[in-house]
Structure 1
Amino acid sequence: MPHLVLPTRAIKVVNKAIELFHYNGFHLVGIDRLVKECEIPKATFYNYFHSKERLIEICLIMQKERLKEKVVSVVEYDHDTNAMDKLKKLYVLHTDLDGLYYLLFKAIFETKLTHPKAYQTAVRYRTWLTNEIYSLLRALNLDASFTESKLFLYMIEGAVIQRLSLGEVDERMVEVFLKSLSVC
């Protein structure tokens, strides 16, 4: 996909939309609210984005790229950290309800039927992340399977759901999972 090139004013709208979608959901934030909170005319909104669906897709692409940068910095550039600790960092990064992943996670549930292109952006990120997790698991244990990397992603997403419902998560589960892989 070609890089998005947006005017500064449009980027401000995207950032505000990300915030609103993050805390209110995709369905509860309409164009009228966006233009009011961003203090732009509705015509300007449509000139930049053409539709709410396109805005949501752009928001998710920006979140995905920001999150990928953080993941790559942990996986590729943190040379002093072992694979197990990198996986723990990824877990913490992705289970933070105020973090970058939460909007992509939310999009999996809220956009599939109404905004399929935006939904695909979130799905592509999950696929990419699963591959990154798999590489780290293989560094931890050469016998690690791709299924175990999917299980790790499901643990992340289960922790997000648990945080939403209970407000806290027992993070020992990740430790037990990773130790069981490194022992094998």
Structure 2
Amino acid sequence: MPHIDLPFRALSVLHSARYLFNKYGFHNVGVDRIIEAAKIPKATFYNYFHSKERLIEMSLSFQKDGLKHEVISIIYVQKDLTVVEKLRKIYYLHADLDGLYHLPFKAIFEIAKTHPKAYQSVVDYRNWLINEIYNLLLTANADASKPDAHMFLFVIDGAMVQLLDPNKTDDRERLLDYFLAQTM
């Protein structure tokens, strides 16, 4: 069911679940906690989502769709931006604990074995993003390579790891500047 077709109560559950998954992780949040947060009966939850696994899939799909929309807007709609400015915007869109990428990033480590279909959705998004970044890099540097695009994603992931460590300082700018100096 497309997200736009979801009734308000289902969207409320989806929103509550995404918040809880982000904060506590996929394995530490059960259906009972989700329905308590969403203030709905358990039967309503199962009517809309059928299982926690399906809710996880829909939560990740919601995040992925939002990210794709933003990336497409940055690359193809915001034509006045330079390639470097676009890369910066895409980077900060992803390297943000309060942003749309936090949940898919968390999924990489938490659900590969337990929820392979939902995990595959994250893998598909990351492959899509690598292709978009590669094509963007080619517009500024004919010698850009696919590994450069992979490296951009690894820099995002590294920034996320640093942001999750309470003992680290925020080095997102330095990480990005290093990547840009090497690639552009």
Give the TM-score normalised by structure 1.
Answer: 0.94
Identity %: 51
Q: Letter of the aligned partner of 2:174 in structure 1?
A: R
Q: How does 1:139-158 map to 2 (within 5 A)?
A: 139-158=139-158
Aligned residue for 1:172? 174
Q: Is residue 15 of structure 2 the alignment partner of residue 3 of structure 1?
A: no
* Displacement of 1:89: 1.0
User: What SS does structure 2 have at the residue aligned with 1:76?
Assistant: helix
Q: Contact 2:95 / 2:160 at 8 angstroms: preserved in 1?
A: yes
Cα distance per residue 1:151-176 (max 9 Å; x no partner): 11001001100111125125223223
Unaligned runs of 5+ in 1: none
Q: Contact 2:74 / 2:86 at 8 angstroms: preserved in 1?
A: yes
Q: Letter of the aligned partner of 1:150 in structure 2?
A: H
Cα distance per residue 1:112-170 (max 9 Å; x no partner): 11111110111111011111110111112011000110011001001100111125125
Q: How does 1:3-152 map to 2 (within 5 A)?
A: 3-4=2-3, 5-152=5-152
User: What SS does structure 2 have at the residue aligned with 1:144?
Assistant: coil
Q: Name the CA distance, whole Å, in 1 between partners of 2:180 and 2:63.
A: 27
Bigger mean CA deviation after superposition, 2-11 or 68-77? 2-11
Q: Name the CA distance, whole Å, in 2 between partners of 1:170 and 1:42.
A: 41
In the alignment of these two chains, the number of paired residues is 181
Q: Name the CA distance, whole Å, in 2 between partners of 1:163 and 1:55.
A: 26
User: What SS does structure 2 have at the residue aligned with 1:80?
Assistant: coil
Bigger mean CA deviation after superposition, 150-159 or 173-182? 173-182
Q: Letter of the aligned partner of 2:95 in structure 1?
A: T
User: What SS does structure 2 have at the residue aligned with 1:152?
Assistant: helix
User: What SS does structure 2 have at the residue aligned with 1:89?
Assistant: helix
Bigger mean CA deviation after superposition, 53-62 or 163-172? 163-172
Unaligned runs of 5+ in 2: none
Q: Letter of the aligned partner of 1:119 in structure 2?
A: Y
Q: Contact 2:155 / 2:179 at 8 angstroms: preserved in 1?
A: no
Give the TM-score normalised by structure 2.
Answer: 0.94
User: What SS does structure 2 have at the residue aligned with 1:171?
Assistant: helix
